[in-house]
Structure formats: structure tokens, C-alpha cells
Structure 1
């Protein structure tokens, strides 16, 4: 039985010829989908099916596919009739056969992969590419024309869809949400995206919740709660529900066509009202709920047990086809049930009835430029960051909150790019000292407002919601459709999107190897409120491990930057916003901290990625006795404080201070494009002198990056060792042995001959650690000589202390 429920009113009845076109297209797409899963030869069944025509390894997922091909067929109809720009986002996992079938039918696949054109040989190539060595994955992937959404991991489709719709007023994003996917946390939060979508300037998202009843082996929750409860849930999220349910093809086509027309009419009415200024309330956007059997049109019974409409159809309904003649015959009957002789001519070309349903040019679902965002991308108009520099008359002579300085520059970036740049973050823009941007824009907000609210507006460029998943998903959708953005987050909680980062990095890795995929803007993270200044929030907020996670990915994709002060932060972020096809991770503190480099020095230092602080070093003209290296703002501060002690207490010791901004410079060029040649690394760090390295994150990451270097045996790294609590800033670095006194002790322990000579100094350093800890325990704050410390041990190169 088929029902179609919506608000009062009916869509335009579907004519018989339109019905024939839809059904022919759907059958053709289903035939191609089954062929992708099973066949490696005899694509048109011009001869009886034999075992050698079947793939030896049957991989793929049939269960969700017929529902997806059904939706895609209907999207083609409305695109052509209404001249719409539509981007399809397919959330159900492993729905690749449906998307590839659509791309082949609308000619895009053959344009991208000429060996797979629209004829019998091209059909054979399509089949052999799917889930086949050297071919394409079983899910919707970068290799799939028309896609921006990696379908291998569930939960992110709706967030990607809304990210694509922001600032694309002429775009409709049709997002199919799988019923298994709908059980994930990120997807559940994504329904709230309607509170951030402005119909006056943004495009529209049409969610299509596809309920086929089952996941891999269990019922799907939303498929089992009943229409009344489901309707209440979706209406509570702010949607108007259109229900299409059944299994009889003709009735389902008529119902889907009617409800899709109604939904698009509602979208058009909402946008017209918003753009004419007559919309006063947050609109109730349409959602389609499609109930259809899992494995629809596939084998109904196999070995005496039901398959269609059950979890058994999830992957490959018929296994052992090569070995079992009965199964082989059942597969052939299944394929022939679509009547391929009515769908393709003798040469394998789709018939005119199918071609009539295919839109033209860039209106084709698989050819839309919105799914290849580099085609639409334009460079940002970036203000000159040098004009926002802080004054640094001498190293450490001034202080600044680095992210607050950056916020003033980002304010102008927003003003200069009112339709192509957004700032994303989980309710932390002000907390992370970027609130200057609110002088140029509001926070996007379509829900209710109170007189006490500040900086909320429909046209806001700041996207804040307390879900890192949503921020990441929105930004990914925004970037993949040709725009630019920055994601600011507390360092410890960026781990929430570890897996989303994985998927995006994998997407970039694959898409960079596809010549038809154009480069997109980089995914830029600004991690602040970091491990060393979460002393007030405690252990739960102290974790720098995202850096370790990031460097697991392919070297050509990832970049990690640790600017030591405000001017270097400006230079780094300007570089990141100009880049393409990378994931850039920038870690910077928001608390007041010394400024070390003037803007010209900062630019030169960031360009090198790693370099000497000559003004702090005492090895000029001869080899150093020890190298003090640092990466990160707090480690830089502690390293320079240790250097100052050594200069005063051991003036004969030749100390070299090296600061690392671009972490990937530590690797050899064979491992990363930014890597230093061994000769350069040895000249800077020396091949045989002790290196005491103060690092922002877990110390073993530095060892991992530098393990190939000749001087690695001399490398001793201090960093976060999973010691944290609610305490003072200096006690936090002492807990992890990153403090200046411990660094001095490390130098004494590792420079040959110094242990005996400097034993008294070493004991004083250990005593100083104890005194500082006792002070914090008694007074609840760090000693004045720590909080009031400044670098006054030297000026510019060539000047004596």
C-alpha cells in the first residue's frame, strides 16, 4: 500500500509518459547497480550468464541502493522541469552503485572516465571499476562525479548539505538521510541546522529521510516508531513532513512526484517571502520521509528465507554465484527482471525514454559545479596582515593576546569577503578572543531572540553551535562547494571530530590525484585555549594530542604550525587562508604573552618555518655546547627563561636557541614536502651536540618526526606527559617537567662535563621548583618572579646583554 501525506493540497498529477520515463530510468539505474556488484562481463546479457561473467569477489551494498536510485530519478525530473540547480548528498553508507549509475546515465561518468562511455564496452568498464582492484570504492567517494560527501562513515550528510547551502541562494541540496545514519549523534544534532539557515541569502536543504527498515542486522529505530511519533519528532525539529510509503512502483512514483513538487513549492514560497521582506518568523522547511523496502526489486526469497524487505538484503543478496548454478540462474533472472532490452539498444546506449529524463549540461546531478568546488572557488580578498602587527621594539618588550590580535585582522577578512568566508566554532568566538569579528558581523541565528541577546542576526557570518561535529560538517560542506572558512576550537575538544578530520583528509588525498577535481580551500583549524593555559578548567581540558592524530595522514595533505607570538600568528593564518587542498592546524594561545619578533622578523621566521633566535643565543662564531629548541608559545617562553638563567649563571656556555613554527620541517624531505635536508638540519641542530627540545604536545611526536636524523640520539624532548589538574599556569608546566628550571637541569645533565661543574646550580633549580610549588599551594597563585618575568637579557643580534 502506498500513502502520500503532507499539508492540505496535492501536487500535480504525474502523466503516463512521465511515469514511463521515471520507471525506465529507475529500472536502468537498478540494472546498472546490480551489474556493478556482480558482473565483470556480458553487461547487456546478450548471452546466457556464465560463471566467468561474474566477479570472483562480490563486494557492495544492495539494500539501500534501489531507494537511492528512486530518489535520484525523481530529482532528475524536477531539475529538468523547474530548471533547478540541485546538489545531491547521499548519506546512506555504501550507496555508491546508485550514484555511479546516475553518473553513467547522465554522461558525466564517461566524460570523466572516457573508457566508461555510454555503450556496451563502457558499461562493462563501469562494472569492472566498481569494488574491483584499481577501481572505485563501493561507497560514494571522491572518484564519484557529483559528490561532496564520503559515504563510508555515517552521520555527516545533513551537516555537509547545510554547509553547501550557506551563501548559495540558488542551490537546492537534496540530502538523503539513511535510517541507520539517523541514529548517530552528529546527524541528530544536524536537524538543528534550520535555526542557522537564512532563506533570504542561503540556498535550501531538502532532507529525504529514507526508512528501509534495517541497518546491517538490526531494525532501524526511526523505522519502528510509527508515523505519528516520527511526524512529531520532525515537526519538533521545525519541519513540515511529507510521507511517501509503499512498495508498488507505479503508486510510489506518483506519490513521490506529488510530494516532491509540494516540497519544492514550499521552498520557493519560503524563499520568495524571505527575499521580498515579508517573512517574519522562522520558516517550517519541508522534509520527505520515504518508506520503501530494503533491497527493493531484488530477490524476494533466497534458500527459503525472505530477503527483500529484510536485513539480509543489506550487502550481497546472492552469494556463491560462481559455484552454485541455481544462484547463477537466480542472478540472471534478477537482472532480466529489469527488462534491459527495453532500456538499452543493441550497442548499450540508453534509450530515448531515459535520455528525456536527464537534465542538460551543469544541471546534471553528476556534473554540477557545486560538487567540484574548485571550479567555483575565488581567492579571498585578504587585508594586509602587516597593518595589524603589534609593536616589538625589542624581544619580549611588549605583550599581547595573540588571538585577540588575530581577531582584529579576521574582522576585516569578514568585511572584505561578505559572501565567501565564515568563522565556525562551538560557542567559543568570544572565549577564544576573536570577538572583534562581531564588530563586522553577527552570529548567524534564526531562532528566537531576547532583549538581552547580543550579536545575533540572520545575516551573521559567525557560525556558533555547541557541537564540534556540526561546525566541522558545515565547514566541510562550505569548502567543498568553493568557499573559505576557519574553525576555532578549544584544543582538547577538537578530538571530538577526529574521525571527521580523517574522512576529509582522505578525501583530499584521493581528490588531489584526480585531474578533474579542482583544488578547494584548505580546512583551517585554530586551536586555542590550549593545554598549557587550561589550568583553571583542569585535566579534562588538557590534551594536545590532536597533533599526533593529524600527522598520521599523508604528508602532502597536512600542515601543523605553532607560532610563538602574535605577529607570527598573523603571518601563519594569512598563509593558511591562501592555501588549497591542505588541512592546516594552527595552535596559539589566547592569554597575554610576550611578543618576540617584529613583523618583518616574524614573516622571515614563518617563511623559514624554523630558525635561530640569534638575539637569545650565545654561540655566535663557534659551535654551541647545547641547542635549546622549542615549538609552541608556552614552550618558547620557558625556553627563553631557561636561556636567561644559563646566560647569567653559566656565561661561558655556548647556547643556541632554535624555534620551530612549521612542525613538518623536522621531517626529511623524503617524508614531507616541507622537510629539511639533512645538511640543513645538522647545521641548525648539530649532529653531535645535546638538544633539549621544549614542545607544546606529547614529546614522542618530536622523536617520531626526527628519528631519521643523525643527531636523534642526542635529542631530549620535554612536553605534555599527561599530568594535569586545576592549578596555576606555572605549576602546570612544572607538573610536566617543561618549566624553565627543569630545562636548565636537563642542560646540566646532558652537556658533557657540566654535571660536576654546575652541580650547585642544578640543586638551586630543583629547590626553586619546590619553592614555586609550595607558593602555589599556600597562596593559590604563581610567585611574582614568575608572573612578572620578562626577557631583558639581550637585544637585537650584535647587542650585548
Structure 2
């Protein structure tokens, strides 16, 4: 064992040397000549402080992987820990196999160093470009939830997750410690959290590094873990302690799994975790410019900066030579054989583990035929249904057919969003205490509910990135909680699309229900459709937004999204009973086109319309059709074209989005000079943004959410935002000169109906019967 630990220490020195070289060196990678300013990058970018700790953990994981033939992936939570993970995957050979031009020799090492945080190179954090990674290091807080997501349904996988003590201060990370209440040792893998305490963030001390030992231990015992401490700064002692601790921890994990898989799940185990306390910038320069560095916040980024300053080049050279690279690499720059043999072989290397390239393990879902769930629609508006309840029947059978590769995630809203049929085939997952009055709760449940949108998102991302499928349902207003997480996943997918060895993964699918127009009972706090705007900011190659107007279109869209790869699909659909417009054949045609004229609601066939009534979203569609009925009644001679939009991206030009319509097709639909009254689910400005380059944009008038809302009736919500049938009707009257002679009486009609509406709801507390009981009929005399 002492000889093995000696070699491990040398391997750690090699990883540290490569890490420093990435931050600093442009040339002279093996320091074969005296270091000069010309050998150093002109711009020094990167983070040293966390890196030696990450390297320390990596080599110790290598030892136990090789010793016990373990299946392990490594998640580095600390931000910008890229030098360490790149260094270690280079040492084990994965990096050169992935990028053959970065060879394991002096020339390859020079390229490895130069590319880091350099134009045309790689980021300073762990990123999609890093072999073995599933976690973007550019933002803190999600490492542990990604780790648990990766472990679900992966019974042979151990996910080692290093949590930085700065990261541990974020809300998502603080909450994610409770993920252990959802991990089932029978069917899931294991997560080994390693809390790395090095004392400082960029400039200040960290919370967990400054609380007493017994308080820290009590905190994690309270979370339900058994903490093991590895603390110190002497490398020899720390290697011995870490090796012994990892042996105990892995043995404990295997004992937990063996017992559960032999005797069945009995109660939630106290999973082990490691608290590693080591100096920040360990093994780096102790003093720079008469100020302490190692063990302080000054080691966080670049410990020796301003290389023009006298003595700094020599200080850097002294630091790098302290690792004695000549003992670690041969004259050609290859790692010495006795050190190279410490790395696991083949796919057991953490940089080559297929679970970190989830598309390589991905299998298509077994999907039932969504047409079998179709709502019977003998005529538009003749049937009423709850769209997401119908979708829930489809999701139920997907869960049943894919018992190990598909889960649904929701912050306590699965039933609320009308996916309750899923509980016919599975339960809510919990390995915590379950009592008799709990409803559909079991340790083997596949419905992942925690009242944290961050955890649902993080779990699902980890699940997808390791080769599985899932769906996230959420109240529309509260999906904003994961705005930043969505950002990171979108950036990951955008980068991964341009990395040939990254295999496509299943798309991240959102259902946003309980949406803005049906939050009349909860009030303004639950009213915000702006997530769509946020999504549209991302690259067109990875985002899709769908607004199906009824159940059959929702089924078609859902099937399409579940078959897609490397996208983020956002579906917005209501859960309340609504009129259904399209039978399944029509729904398929409409969804395939993404946008189209509803001929049955239009009367302009064979000529130009006087006005185009466009809509996107279920409630806007209802109000548009009601407005069209009013137009038919009051102005039967008027030629009206009704356009419904399912795929919001169809509004953009083809040059801006792959789904975009070319200008000719757009002009044929919307005309080049007629008024377009557009009823839209969200904020009106987005439609203008998507269409501002179109020929007829000047005649586009959008009604949508205007940040008006309260606790009121459903129809009053649309009235408050002027999305209702009466305001749409009035807008047409205002836009058409040929109606000028009749405008006075038409506008009086609108004022009277809106006054009657206000008077009625304030007296009775519900919408007028003419609103509640309105039905679409094709006979204009009955409109």
C-alpha cells in the first residue's frame, strides 16, 4: 500500500502540473528551457483554487474503480474546475482518444496547454467538450441533483459528486441534499457526495467551512447521511486517510445495495458521504507579493497574475518545477508507465464511461399509438374535454411500457395538471417514511415529485444526459424558477450539437399547464406566460415551442416531442374543460404543418379576406372563434380568414429558425396588406419580435397578456387583458374602413356587453351564461 500511495501522489502531482500548465503556458510545456515571458499566455484565465482538490479525488476514485472494477462517473460541482478534469482525462488517455491532435507527448501537451481558455480552444470550466462530463461547470448549484438524476434506474452506477463549499451556499444545492429520500437501493445506483471545503469563495469565506465540526456533522446526519471526514494539508497523511475512507464508504454502499436487493427495500438507508477539507490552492505558491496565497481566497483564480511584474515569471517557474515533471513524464512528454497503469482501463475510465455520453446508451421509447387516445370530435366545438387529462392517459401507458427508462417529474403537480391516470401504473417516489393515509406513494414509484422546480429540472437533466427519457409538468407561472437551469441545458445542447462524439440525447420536454388564462382563482401571483419569451432567446437549433389548441393536437405534439432528440420542447396546454376543434385526422394535418387556415371557421375561400383572425393557444383560439361568430352575425358580408398556430416557430423566417415559413408562404397565409388581429397566449411583443421582418408586419395587431390579472372569473381574465371576443371584435371594426358606417353601433354593442359582464360577475361571482354556455356553430345566423 505505501508504494501504491507513493505512485498515486506522483500521479496527483502530474495532474496538478498539467492543470497549472493549462492556466499559464503557451509554450515550453516540459520546462526544458528556462521559463520566459514569451512562454506564458498574454491573458491568464482559469481557476486554480479548487483544482488540486478535484485532482486528489479523481486519482483516489481511479484506485478504487480499478481495485473493485466499479462503474463510476465523476461530477465536478465547483465552478471552473476544468483544468483538473481535462488533466485527468488526458492522463488516462481518454482525451487523446477523443481529440487525436492532443496527443500524449510533448507536442500534444503544448496543444493541451494552449487551448485552455484561449480563442478557438476550450472553456475554463467543465463543459460538453470535456470527456466524461454531464455537468456544465459554468453555473453553480445543480451538481448533486444531476448526480441523483444520473443514478435513478442505473443500479450498477456510482456517481461521485464533488460539491464545492461555495456551490453549497446556493438554494438548489442546499435543497438537493434531500434527494437521498428518493434513491432506491434496489433499482437505482448510488451517489457519493464529496463536500469539498477549501474555505473560500472568490473573495470571502464560505458558510460550511466556518461552522464547528460537530455542527457540520450534525447537519449532514440531519440530512440523512453518514459523514466521513478527510481533513488536513499533509499530502502523505491525506492520501492514507482518503484511501481508507473510500474503502469504507464503497463497502458501505455495496452493503446497503446487497441487503436491499436480497431482502427487499425496508427503510431509507443512511447513505455515506465524504467531507473533504483541504487548503484552497493546495500545493500552489504560499506567498505572492508578500501576501499569503495557499489556503486563502487569493488562490481562487490565478494565484500569480501580472506576469510583467518583476519576479513573477521566476515564481511561476519555481511553482511548476515543484511538481518535478521530469520524474513524471519521459523526455518525449509521455506519462511514465508505472503511473499510467494506475488509471482504469477501457470504459471503466471515468472519461470514457458511456453513461457520461448518454446518447450512446439511449434506446427509443416504446410508445403506444397516440391516435388510440383521440377525443371524438364529430364537428368543431361539438365535444368538450380536458386536454392534459387526455394527454395523461397517453403518459400513463408510456410509463407502463418503459418501466426502467422513463419517469415523470413535477413539483407536486402531477395530479393537479391532470396526469392523475399515471397513478394507475406507478406511484410517487419516496424512500422516506410512508404512512397509511399517503396517496400513491412508494419506494419504487416513477413519479418524481418534490416541491422544488430546481430539483425536478436537475433530476430530469441528469436522467436525460445519461441516456433515458422523461417529461416535466409544471404550473406555467412557476417554471420561471428554472430559467437559469434551462439556460445552461440549452447551452449544453447547443455546444453538444457541434461535438461529433457527443451522441444525441432525448429532448427535455416541458408541459406548462395551469396556465395564465386559467389562474383566475389563484390570482396575479400565478399569472405569467413569460417563460416562452425566455426560451425564444436561445439558439433556434435547440428550442421548440408548441401551443396546441385542443386535446388531439396535444396528443400529436406530445408524441412528436418524445421522439425528438437534442431539443428543448415547451408545450403550453390547458387542463380545464374546453371545446375541442379538430378530429384526429385534422389534428395530424394541422400539427404537421404547424400553422394553417381553419377553413371551417373561415369564409374567404376563393378570394382575399378582409381581415385575418390569427390565434395561438387554447384560450386565444376560443376567444378568436367567438369573435368570428360575432363578426358573422353583425357583418355577414365580411370575408374572414382564421389562422391557428401550433408551432410558434413557424412565425419566424426560415433563415431564423428551421421551422420558419419562407416569406412567400407567410404572405400567402397572412396577406401582404390586410389587417391581422392576432390573439396570442403570452406577451404580445413576442409575436411582433418573431414577425418584424415580414411584409405585412405593419398591419399586425396582437392581443395577449398585458400584466393585468387578479382573483376573478375566467372570462374576466381575458377581458382585463383585452384578449376577449368583444375587444377582438372591436379591433376588427377599428381596422376596416368599410365598416365605418356601422362602427358606432358595433362599438356600442361592445361597450354594452362589457358593462353587462362586469355587472354580472360582481353580482353573481361567475361568468354570464352567454359566455359559459357559448358554443361554436357554423350557421352564421346562430352566431
**In the TM superposition, what is the alpha-carbon distance from 1:352 to its structure 2 partner?**
1.5
1:565-599 CA distance string (max 9 Å, x none) = 00000000100000000000000000000100000
1:685 is aligned to: 670
Which of 162, 165, 178 is 1:192 aligned to?
178
Q: Pick the aligned partner of 1:62 from 41, 48, 57.
A: 48
Q: 1:568 to 1:279 in 2, by over 3 A?
A: closer
* Deviation of 1:516 (Å): 0.6
Give the Cα–Cα distance (whole angstroms) in 1 for the partners of residues 67 and 149 of structure 2: 26
Aligned residue for 2:600, secondary structure, equals coil
TM-score (norm 1): 0.97
Does residue 1:34 correspond to 2:20, yes or no? yes
Residue 229 of structure 1 corresponds to which residue in structure 2? 215
In structure 1, what is the Cα distance between the partners aligned to 2:779 and 2:164?
64
Question: Partner of 1:89 in structure 2?
Answer: 75
Q: Secondary structure of the residue that 2:708 maps to in structure 1? A: coil
Find the counterpart in structure 1 of residue 341 from structure 2.
356
Correspondence for 2:682: 697
Distance 1:739 1:277 in 2: 61
**Structure-to-structure mapping, 1:306-705, within 5 angstroms:** 306-321=292-307, 323-705=308-690
Deviations 1:448-495 (A, max 9, x none): 111111111111110000000000000000000000000000000000
Residue 143 (structure 1) shift: 0.7
Counterpart Cα distance in 1 of 2:737 and 2:328: 82
**Alpha-carbon separation, structure 2, partners of 1:755 and 1:568:** 38
Write out per-residue CA displacement over residues 671-697 of structure 1, whole angstroms, 9 at most, x where no aligned residue: 000000111001111110000000000
2:727 maps to: 742
Match of 2:143 among 153, 157, 175: 157
SS at match of 1:243: strand
- Give the total of aligned pairs: 783
* Aligned with residue 772 of structure 2, among 779, 784, 787: 787
Aligned to 1:276, what secondary structure does the other structure show? helix
Give the secondary structure class of the aligned counterpart of 1:115. coil
Whether the aligned pair in 1 keeps the contact of 2:373 and 2:390 (CA below 8 Å) is: yes
Deviates more, 1:762-771 or 1:699-708: 762-771
Paired position in structure 2 for 1:293 = 279
- CA shift for structure 1 position 753: 2.2
In the TM superposition, what is the alpha-carbon distance from 1:660 to its structure 2 partner?
0.1
> Displacement of 1:17 after TM fit?
1.7
After TM superposition, the structure 1 = structure 2 runs for residues 84-123 of structure 1, keeping only pairs within 5 Å, are: 84-123=70-109
Return the offset for 1:752: 2.4
Which SS does the other structure have where 1:679 is aligned?
A: helix
1:642-678 deviation per Cα after TM superposition (whole angstroms, max 9, x unaligned):
0011111111000000000000000000000000011
Higher mean Cα deviation, 467-476 or 324-333?
324-333
Matches within 5 A, 1:124-135: 124-135=110-121
Residue 314 of structure 1 and its aligned partner are, at CA, apart by 0.3
1:219 to 205, 218, 227: 205
Contact 1:21–1:356, Cα closer than 8 Å, also in 2: no
Query: What SS does the aligned partner of 2:274 have?
Result: strand
**1: CA distance, partners of 2:267 / 2:657:** 52
**Cross-structure match for 1:5:** none
C-alpha separation between the residues in 2 aligned to 1:21 and 1:784? 82
The alpha-carbon deviation at position 353 of structure 1 amounts to: 2.3
CA drift of 1:757 comes to: 2.6
CA distance in 1 between counterparts of 2:306 and 2:176 reads 40
Q: Distance in 1 between matches of 2:545 and 2:526?
A: 21
Query: CA 1:259–1:626 in 2, change beyond 3 Å: closer, same or farther?
Result: same
Q: How does 1:254-265 map to 2 (within 5 A)?
A: 254-265=240-251
Contact kept, 8 Å, 1:490 with 1:529, in 2: the verdict is yes
Out of 123, 138, 149, the residue aligned to residue 137 of structure 1 is 123
Post-superposition shift, 1:279? 4.6
Following superposition, the deviation at residue 325 of structure 1 comes to: 4.0
TM-score of the pair, normalised by structure 2: 0.99
Among 25, 29, 32, the alignment partner of 2:11 is 25
Q: Determine if contact 1:742/1:766 at 8 Å carries over to the other structure.
A: no
Shift of 1:324: 2.8
Q: CA deviation at 1:778?
A: 1.2
Tell me, yes or no, if the aligned pair for 1:538 and 1:727 is still in contact at 8 Å: yes
State the alpha-carbon separation in 2 of the partners of residues 738 and 203 from structure 1: 50
Runs ≥4 in structure 1, deviation > 4 angstroms? none
Q: State how far apart, in whole Å, the 1-side matches of 2:502 and 2:17 are.
A: 28
Correspondence for 1:272 among 258, 264, 273: 258
1:241 matched to which residue of 2? Answer: 227
Q: Secondary structure at the match of 1:758?
A: helix
Q: 1:177 aligns with which of 153, 156, 163?
A: 163
Contact 2:633–2:782, Cα closer than 8 Å, also in 1: no
CA contact (8 A) 1:176 1:208 kept: yes
Cα deviations by residue, 1:288-338 (Å, 9 ceiling, x for unpaired): 0000000000000111111000000000000112x1341100100100000
Please give the alpha-carbon distance, in whole angstroms, between the structure 1 residues aligned to 2:758 and 2:718.
Answer: 11
Contact 2:544–2:570 at 8 Å: present in 1 too? yes
The structural deviation recorded for 1:510 is: 0.4
SS, match of residue 160 in structure 2: strand
Backbone CA RMSD of aligned residues? 1.1
1:652 partner SS: coil
Matched position secondary structure for 1:628 = strand
| Distance (Å, rounded) in 2 between the aligned partners of 1:357 and 1:226 | 37
| Residue 206 (structure 1) aligns with | 192
Cα–Cα, structure 1 residues 287 and 794, in superposed 2: closer, same or farther, change >3 Å?
farther
Match of 1:3 in 2: none
CA positional deviation for 1:408? 0.6
- Please point out which of 133, 144, 158 is paired with 1:147: 133
Contact 2:186 2:265 in 1 (8 A): no
SS class of match (1:116): coil
Name the SS of the counterpart of 2:601 in structure 1. coil
- How far the C-alpha of 1:758 sits from its partner, in A, is 3.2
Q: CA deviation at 1:504?
A: 0.3
Equivalent pair of 2:734/2:743 in contact (CA under 8 Å): no
Secondary structure at the residue paired with 1:586? strand
Q: Distance in 1 between matches of 2:377 and 2:483?
A: 37
- Structure 1, unmatched stretches of 5+, are 1-14
Looking at structure 2, the residues matched to 407 and 327 of structure 1 have their Cα atoms a distance apart, in angstroms, of 64
Q: SS of 2:311's equivalent?
A: helix
Match of 1:49 among 12, 31, 35: 35
In the alignment, the residues of structure 2 paired with residue 60 and residue 153 of structure 1 have an alpha-carbon distance, to the nearest angstrom, of 15
Instruction: Name the CA distance, whole Å, in 2 between partners of 1:765 and 1:94.
Output: 60
Whole-angstrom distance in 2 between the partners of 1:691 and 1:21:
74
Deviations 1:163-195 (A, max 9, x none): 000000000000000000000100011011011
Q: Indicate the residue corresponding to 2:60 in structure 1.
A: 74
Alpha-carbon distance in 1 for matches of 2:187, 2:545? 35
